[in-house]
Chain A
Amino acid sequence: MSWVGRRLPRYEDPVLLRGDGRYVADLARGARAMRFVRSPVASGRILSVKAPPGAIVITAADLAAVKPICPRLLRPDFVPIAQPVLARDRVRHVGEAIAAVIADSAAAAEDIAEQVEIEIAPETPVVSLDQALAPGAPLVHGDAANNTVIDTGLDAGDVDTAFASAHRVVEFTFTSRRQSAMPLEARAALAVFDTSSGRITLSVSAQSPHLIRTGIADALAMPENELRVIAPDVGGGFGQKVPLIPEHIVAVWAARRYRCAVAWIEDRLENLTAAFHARDQRIALRGAFAADGKLLALDADIQCNIGAYSNSPVTCAVEPLMAMSELPGPYAVGAYRVRSRGITTNTCPMAPYRGVSRPVITSAMERLMDTAASRLGLDPLAVRRRNLISSFPYASVTGIVHDAGSYREAMDTAAETLDIAAFRKRQQSARAEGRYLGLGFSVFAERTGYGTPTFSLRKMEVTVGFERVEVAMDPSGFVEARIGASPHGQGLKTTLAQLLADEIGVAPDRIRIVSGDTDRTPYGFGTFASRSAVVAGGACKLAGIQLRDRLKEVAAQELEAAASDIDIADGRALVRGTDLAVPVPELARAAYHQSHRFPTIVDTGLSAVATYDPAGTFSNACHAAIVEIDTATGKVSLERFVIVEDAGILINPTIVEGQIHGGVAQGIANALYEQIVYDDSGNILTGSLADYLVPTLSEIPDLEIHHLETVTDASITGVKGVGEGGAIGAPGAVLNAVVDALSPFGVEVFEMPITPQRILQLLRESRSRTT
């Protein structure tokens, strides 16, 4: 019986449940504490930095030899922007690190940090997209004219003709405000200097330890092999913990300089003000529709606020580029024109956050579908059905190839599950009582599990993408698989053990997955972009097959049979059609201690290395939400939420569902709750979890998941990525449900989060229009 497909409890859990997990702060007892002194103003010239006497305070002057962080795209329309590791001459956002204090305890470091005197001549900041794009606006970076770091576009098909011949043009500007990924463990780094080897071990709360090691070594001009980077237990990341950050570099620099252990444990105020934010994008969208709902052409102007600096290595262009290429989503459209820009401002830098630009583009497209349906007098699902890609593979107008999926089936299944006719009746009778219910759908396809064939199109100086796996069986018959991916809560160790168990023929509890340690694992890019199960999983499959073949060769000798007649399963090798068998541990022992008998595997022994680097596979889903709106307060309550997801083959359905649950909760947060708010001076007004509204259980409804399993040949395991989908699909469904609920008032919503205050404003505006 296959291990893939089983709902195994996770191997990761017992340690975490006992409180024996080891997050960076847990390892930092005894280390000296590092605290950053951060800019209180959004823009200004640094006049002086004065440290209190006797304190260890590191400033830019100490780091003159350290290179800035400056990720690049190898394309002419991209302006690289350099981020000094500590601010040198000027500050560009509130929270930017200016100095680092080292002391014996976190409290003492904070005491000293308060005494560091910083004199800054403030200048007028640009905070919003409008401010940054205004003629004559102050420049955040001198070499980024118009505060624009990338300005690109494409024009495919005959857009003008399509618009000219359209029965109806639907247009609006859709806005997604600023969020934080808000992992519950904030960022952290512990750098320990080893006096005997001279090496540094950096334990870091991160998603991509190998990339971080390369980045630090580059910045400090040190050999990579003098640095070991470990991602121990990591308390969530969601993208925020992918990039290299100045704090990593300063920690390693300080541990080398002072030959000691230095720990930076970010607090929540720092995390909300200085750790990467996300979204803050708007799309001016126009759709040309035929009378039957066919989408003839799309025209979009995408603007992404990228904050004050880029992020390494994927760069700040990742949002505008992805939004540009994936805007049409699951819909077949023959003509598409788009301009897409990344705009720098005096705000916290942005990094990819679960879904990257797709929660925004999906919500915009799903609002377009519903708005078109309403203007054309058609059923919203009929308009989608008219446009959804239905034959695969499908090459989109932007050149993306969609592998097999179930776009229409997912939507139809969601519609059936909800019983729309019954809902409409209930909605009518509720309205009669002054209660406003609404139903909304959101359909999307999400490119997942892609490697360098896809990433290289972005022309990143650091083109991420492949994953490598080293698998070895030890003499006891146990297996170790060392992966370059770096899971941090996704259950990837259990998932990969299940996958390898089937390939090798031993139980998953005999397989240990090693990750997150540059000394122990092959170079890899880490865990992000819904890639690990697909890409690291594919590499595991390839390596597992090799290992199994080697075991078969050993078994062939031991059992005096042809290797091709041998099956390995349930921990033993069996000659097919006989009862001749030998336990795997005996094969392992023989391979090591009687190696002279197995000349064909002498080069590798019982080990294998494999790399997987696919172009990617699309998972898809339909989300549907039923909301009730209290028109006296504007409060939106979620009554029901249905997800029909197609993630291909499910290795562990329970783990897959967990990923969807978490993603949907974050999507609901995006739609209704979370917002980082800046004032006009660039100060953050939402610097605590009392103001930045991460939903509690009371705000998240029961989530009903239905699986479809399309078999794809774009992924050698048949697995599609699922880490981000929940966050991508949920906001659009919620927004459409809100608009449906408010349809008696003619309120339309093209923004998120849609807050109770905004709902009452929109209701008021609607009333004043009609009176």
Chain B
Amino acid sequence: MKPAAFRYFAPRTVEEALDLLAEHGDDGKILAGGQSLVPAMNFRLARPASLIDINRIAALDYLREEAGALRIGALARHARFERPVASGALGPFLPRVAHQIAHLPIRVRGTFAGSLAHADPASEWCVVAATLDAELVAESRRGTRNLRPDEYFTGALTTALEPDELLTEIRLPLLGDQWRSGFAEFSRRAGDYALAMCAAFLRIEQGRIVEARIGLGGAADRPARIAAAERLLIGSDGGDDAKRAAGDAAAQAIEPLVDVQADAEYRRDLVRAMVNRAVAQACG
């Protein structure tokens, strides 16, 4: 389990990185945290001819609030999110999610943007981005594109990123304090990739849900908001019947992934349970 040979580049600026991508992008890969890419390379399931290591681009290592969004630079690592980094409803939410990502030594290296670029269906940050309708900033020598999750995620481990593009920033829209959040996931062991997960954001006025965002991950080939579940929750009190209906709707809305741990029926069971729990947390 030793990787195949590759050429290694360590640019110091985004411009250098984009130049390298323009030249080597077709058979190259960006190396950020490397916590998914390097295992795949060790198994020789991934064998990029060139590796463009962006870890030395200090300008990409940032987290800041600007223009109503949390702007996450491409080098912001998972561990940064274990403590509150955003105002409003994302404040308590992001640490709760971050703690569920793999294990500490992985969180020390892995990056938020790297998770989105890898687009594993069971990535927590992908679900968060989908649920919040994040803006994804892709740069190349040709220019800058801002992508929305529904156009960005195109399938399991595939995205709309072009080979010469670098995901430089993710913008999570901030939600006001009137929003409540919940996050639930199920995995066989602590730290494993989740078999299903749900992120829920609810705005509740006078005991009624007036706005809802329900996102699912790990259950289908890509993360997505589930409009049917959101519709059922809006106007309800978030009680047992509403939660059950939302869970059922979510379970029906997806084309479930099937793997060694979970067949379609079981994945739907888990979706029901996770929707129920995430909504309950948000209402609680």
Contacts and interface: CB of A to CB of B under 8 A. Distances in A.
A685 B273 contact: no
A770 B256 CA distance: 28
A52 to B, nearest CB: 15
Interface stretch (A83-91, A139-147, A602-610, A693-701): A693-701
Interface in B234-265: 260-263, 265
B188 A269 contact: no
24 contacts: A107-B5, A110-B1, A110-B2, A110-B44, A111-B5, A268-B1, A269-B43, A632-B269, A632-B273, A633-B269, A633-B273, A673-B189, A677-B260, A686-B260, A690-B192, A691-B260, A691-B261, A696-B189, A697-B190, A699-B190, A755-B188, A757-B263, A760-B266, A761-B266
A755 B263 CA distance: 12
B41 to A, nearest CB: 11
A107 B186 contact: no
Interface string A413-427: 000000000000000
B272 interface: yes
Given A267-B1, A691-B260, A760 B269 contact: yes
Interface string B1-33: 111110000000000000000000000000000
B193 interface: yes
A757 B2 contact: no
B191 interface: yes
B266 A757 contact: yes
Interface string A601-635: 00000000000000000000000000000101111
B276 interface: yes
Nearest to A35: B2
A590 interface: no
Name B's interface SS.
loop
Nearest 10 CB-CB pairings of A with B: A698-B190, A107-B2, A632-B273, A267-B1, A757-B266, A685-B260, A633-B273, A677-B260, A106-B2, A633-B186
A51 B166 CA distance: 40
A755 B43 CA distance: 27
Residue with the highest number of chain B CB atoms closer than 10 Å, among A269, A634, A698, A757: A757
A475 interface: no
Contacts of A686: 260
B270 A633 contact: yes
A693 B188 contact: yes
Interface string A214-247: 0000000000000000000000000000000000
Interface in B173-195: 186, 188-193
Residue with the highest number of chain A CB atoms closer than 10 Å, among B191, B261, B272, B276: B261
Nearest to A694: B189
Contacts of A698: 189-191
Nearest to A33: B2
Contact of A632 (B3, B192, B262, B272): B272
Contacts of B43: 269, 688
Contacts of A695: 189
Interface residues of B, number: 25
Residue with the highest number of chain B CB atoms closer than 10 Å, among A633, A686, A760: A633
A391 B269 CA distance: 51
B186 A635 contact: yes
Given A633-B273, A677-B260, A760-B266, A269 B1 contact: yes
Given A632-B269, A755-B188, 10 more contacts: A106-B2, A110-B1, A111-B4, A632-B272, A633-B273, A688-B43, A690-B192, A691-B260, A696-B191, A760-B269
Interface string B189-210: 1111100000000000000000
B84 to A, nearest CB: 25
A334 interface: no
Residue with the highest number of chain A CB atoms closer than 10 Å, among B1, B3, B190: B1
Contacts of A688: 43
A699 B273 contact: no
A40 interface: no
Given A635-B186, A673-B188, A673-B189, A107 B270 contact: no
A268 B1 CA distance: 8
A183 interface: no
Contacts of A699: 189-190
Residue with the highest number of chain B CB atoms closer than 10 Å, among A635, A685, A686: A635
B29 to A, nearest CB: 18
A677 B261 CA distance: 10
A685 B259 CA distance: 9
A743 B39 CA distance: 43
Interface in A630-679: 630, 632-635, 673, 677
B189 A693 contact: yes
A756 interface: yes
A699 to B, nearest CB: 6
B122 to A, nearest CB: 11
A635 B269 CA distance: 12
Nearest to A110: B2
Contacts of B5: 107, 111
A106 B5 CA distance: 12
Contacts of B262: 757
B278 to A, nearest CB: 13
Nearest to A692: B260
A634 B261 CA distance: 12
Interface string B124-160: 0000000000000000000000000000000000000
Interface in A746-771: 755-757, 760-761, 764
Contacts of B266: 634, 756-757, 760-761
A690 to B, nearest CB: 7
B241 to A, nearest CB: 16
Interface string A1-43: 0000000000000000000000000000000000000000000
B198 to A, nearest CB: 12
Nearest to A686: B260
A690 B193 contact: yes
Nearest to B186: A633
Contacts of A110: 1-2, 44
B195 to A, nearest CB: 9
